[in-house]
Chains A and B, each alone.
Chain A
């Protein structure tokens, strides 16, 4: 089965309904399907083995995704923020490709790789103008790869994660009801197109017939403006964006955000104070925390609106703690927590999160990471409480091992963040002659507060956790390093602490 089915069905059911709004231009489902079929012709003509996107979000992302699917070549959106040298290597790995986006850059850094290059405008226009000929078209049956995403590759060469048509359709058909959106529903998209959440959002919005409103480059003011003018009902944001949106809203309290009914977030850890503030600022909106990975075709667990509101008003610490949880697994996947020996752990016991299900690919072009029984080891560390709520304690690789004792950075950071003068904190391993590793701590002082003494912070941790958690080294920094998706770059912090 081919993911193009999603767009074909939306266009069959309501060809004239608006499916996408970008830069003021409106596209019906019929327009989008016709353009995807036009793109099929362009792709076939070019002989490309991949379709790449080197650009911000636009209609070209939808046309390229479904055009590539029809042609049976993987769609591979690339991170335009990468340095020339790194990007050139990735382009080389997918040559010859039909590349949509930054023509000048592709010509400059990969001019000898025999790509076919179109600008965004040229591609969208040509795809619209190209009408399939008289002979019957045979579109790809969808038995292979639909999407290939390069991992960020911070420790080694980027890996090429493979998502098959069957993975993506398993996710969409299992979680989205066809044409379930109201005619007025609109989803605001700000996630970059090379992120899995940016791809799954296109598919789930189209299959539910929810109009996509694209904001190619995020700014909190631009986001609020579009919510108001397009009467946006649904939005997905990463935690840093939500923090900035709340700040901007405080500066422009007259903004009408009453249309917003659902705000989903994910991609990084949400600070407790930000989500509490958001629940207060958007009293009418339902919040959903979505947890997922590239290798799992997006969401595998979620904390829904009712859980958020219940946690906010609860006196029960167990229920209140759920504001920081990832929620419960989707009914279509299975999740297990396992220890280092592969033993399945019970409620409250921390280990590595394993997942399996139709939507789970766990496959790289080089090799599959799946283990026996089709389980995917996420490398995320966490635990599940007795009611099945999943909690994340960090990447399995971030665990600090001090003299054989495993410590998760999260528990230390949560304690430090209770100090009124600390705005942000990161705990990570520092080399220790005595223990192998010990705890290092980097903190950001809250604006308008005096920097607390090192001993004060150590005492706070000692009083709440075991003494092994007390940091050997504490540094104060202006800000912590995050990537554009709001993920804390722990290895950068490690470098700061090592100096």
Chain B
């Protein structure tokens, strides 16, 4: 896995772009994400069904992982079972 890789959810429509990552397993809806969609959809885990939002960036507590949601879906993102949170940046005034 490297930055720039596009991952698809096995459980919903979510697609993310990897901005930063470590060696853990990136999941959506409780199932591992992959570069291709599996032939059979994985079930959506109720624990990871909060949904993803287009254009939001998701990070882990250590700042090791950062994912950009490029297609929203019903599942929510996690790494090795630990939920990721949205990165809330202070909005800047438009400068250009």
Contact = CB atoms under 8 A, between A and B. Distances in A.
Given A9-B70, A12-B71, A304 B93 contact: yes
A204 interface: yes
B55 A177 contact: yes
A488 interface: no
Contacts of A143: 4
A217 interface: no
A290 B93 CA distance: 10
B39 interface: no
A299 interface: yes
B96 A299 contact: yes
B5 to A, nearest CB: 9
The DSSP consensus for interface residues of chain B is loop
Contacts of B93: 262, 264, 286, 288, 302, 304-305
Given A9-B70, A13-B55, A141-B4, A177 B96 contact: no
Contacts of A201: 96
A290 B95 CA distance: 6
Interface stretch (B29-37, B74-82, B84-92): B84-92
A234 interface: yes
A330 B4 contact: no
B61 to A, nearest CB: 19
Nearest to B56: A178
B17 interface: yes
A174 interface: yes
A5 B70 contact: yes
A204 B4 contact: no
Nearest to A235: B94
Contacts of B89: 174, 177, 331
B19 interface: yes
A298 B95 CA distance: 9
A163 to B, nearest CB: 14
A201 B96 CA distance: 5
Interface string A337-379: 0000000000000000000000000000000000000000000
A142 B4 contact: yes
Contacts of A107: none
B63 interface: no
A8 B70 CA distance: 9
Contact of B91 (A180, A187, A200, A288): A180
A175 B89 CA distance: 8
15 contacts: A1-B19, A5-B17, A173-B19, A173-B68, A174-B89, A178-B54, A210-B94, A236-B95, A266-B96, A288-B93, A299-B96, A302-B92, A302-B93, A302-B95, A331-B89
The 4 closest A-B pairs by CB, nearest first: A178-B55, A290-B95, A1-B4, A299-B95
